[in-house]
Amino acid sequence: MVDYVGAKPMLVVSLVLTAALQTASAFGSQRWYLTAVWAATRIAMCWCWPSAIRVVSHWFTAARIGIAMAVLSQAFYLGDAVSRLYLSSLIALGLSWREVFVAAAATTFAIAMLNLLLLRTEPPDGLLHEPDGAPSRETSSSAQSSSSSSSSSAVPLTSTTPPLAAADDEDDCEDRLLLQQQRPSSQQGTLESETEHLSSEAEQPSLSSVLQQLGCSPFFWSAVVWCSFNNLIDQVFLDWTPNMLQISLGISGALAGYTSMVRVAAERREEHLSSHSARR
């Protein structure tokens, strides 16, 4: 939906829905109710990450996308840690768990409004340039291998002949698909039939054609297998390492939490503060 409706509307809708569901969490205490509301919250939140990917992919050229995505993915963990510290401080101030949910909802809604007002999903034409001075590998290779893109090292990504248009990176499948996306139609040969739906710059490919190509792509399925195992180890390592260390080494919970970094340490703090406020 993000690719077809747009990143900004989906991001704002996602955040507003999340805020509404966080508020709803404060008005019930039955297990089934909280389970249902939390499941719905997770569904509402799931549009945020694809929206972020789409925004970043439009703001950065292929020469910088790696580092941009790396920073974005770290923001996910950093934001998680900061939000836990923020909510812990609210508990420390004496707010009940219901009030904490309402405060979290208000914060989420404020973030949604900020995105609505300030977020620019695409740069203005001509703004997205390769860095001046030392040319990137794309611009330098294009200058050497193609006359069609040799006029400038600062070509907008939105141009029909972007810096990547003639990049000579034939061994790299991903680069080839990206190249195919950005080549003028006159330069496309037999590759077009295999990649036109995924790669057309002129029009958005239909969802069915994208799914069809992904379904028969070893590249995609190998990424799914890799990502699944990596996700599993990420979840297990992040969530369970403190328990494993605590039980197997006999160390304290707090120390185990700090060992597995801020997130779990914050969880320990939340648990401690929750029990403290409950006692009060």
Q: Of the candidates 9, 45, 49, 107, which one interacts with other proteins according to CB under 8 A?
A: 49
- Interface residue with other proteins among 34, 71, 93, 119 (CB under 8 A) is 71
Q: Got the DSSP string for 148-202?
A: TT-S-S---TTSSS-GGGG---TT-HHHHHHHHHHS-GGG--TTHHHHHHHH-SS
Nearer to other proteins, 18 or 23 (CB): 18
**Residue 109 to residue 174: CA distance in whole angstroms:** 38
Among 80, 99, 201, 270, binds other proteins (CB under 8 A): 201
Cα–Cα distance, 3 to 209 (Å, whole number) = 14
Using rule CB under 8 A, residue 243 touches other proteins: yes
- State the DSSP string of the chain: -HHHH-HHHHHHHHHHHHHHHHHHHTT---HHHHHHHHHHHHHHHTTHHHHHHHHHHHHS-TTTHHHHHHHHHHHHHHHHHHHHHHHHHHHHTT--HHHHHHHHHHHHHHHHHHHHHH--SSPPTTT--PPSSSPPHHHHHHHHH-STT-S-S---TTSSS-GGGG---TT-HHHHHHHHHHS-GGG--TTHHHHHHHH-SSSPPPHHHHHHHHHT-HHHHHHHHHHHHHHHHHHHHHHHHHHHHHHHH---HHHHHHHTHHHHHHHHHHHHHHHHHHH-
Taking the C-alpha atoms of residue 136 and residue 163, their distance in angstroms, rounded to an integer, is 9
74 lies in the binding site for other proteins (CB under 8 A): yes
Choice from 27, 33, 38, 237 touching other proteins (CB under 8 A): 237
Nearer to other proteins, 99 or 201 (CB): 201
Give the residue with the Cβ less far from other proteins, 22 or 141: 141
User: What mask of x and - would describe binding to other proteins in positions 94 to 113, judged by CB under 8 A?
Assistant: --------------------
Measured from the CB atom, is 29 or 185 closer to other proteins?
A: 185
Closest distance of CB 202 from other proteins, Å = 10
Site string for other proteins, 152-171 (x = CB under 8 A): -----------------xxx
Of the ranges 13-21, 89-97, 233-241, 269-277, which one interacts with other proteins (CB under 8 A)? Answer: 233-241
Residue 192 interacting with other proteins (CB under 8 A): no
| 129 counts as binding other proteins under rule CB under 8 A | no
Contact status: 69 vs other proteins (CB under 8 A) = yes
Q: Is 8 in the site for other proteins (CB under 8 A)?
A: no
Among 175, 196, 267, 270, binds other proteins (CB under 8 A): 175
Smallest separation, CB 95 to other proteins (Å): 31
- Cβ 79 vs Cβ 86: under 8 Å: no
Tell me: does residue 38 bind other proteins (CB under 8 A): no
How many residues bind other proteins (CB under 8 A)? The answer is 86
Q: Which residue lies nearer to other proteins by CB, 114 or 207?
A: 207
| Residue 57 binds to other proteins (criterion: CB under 8 A) | yes
244 binds other proteins (CB under 8 A): yes
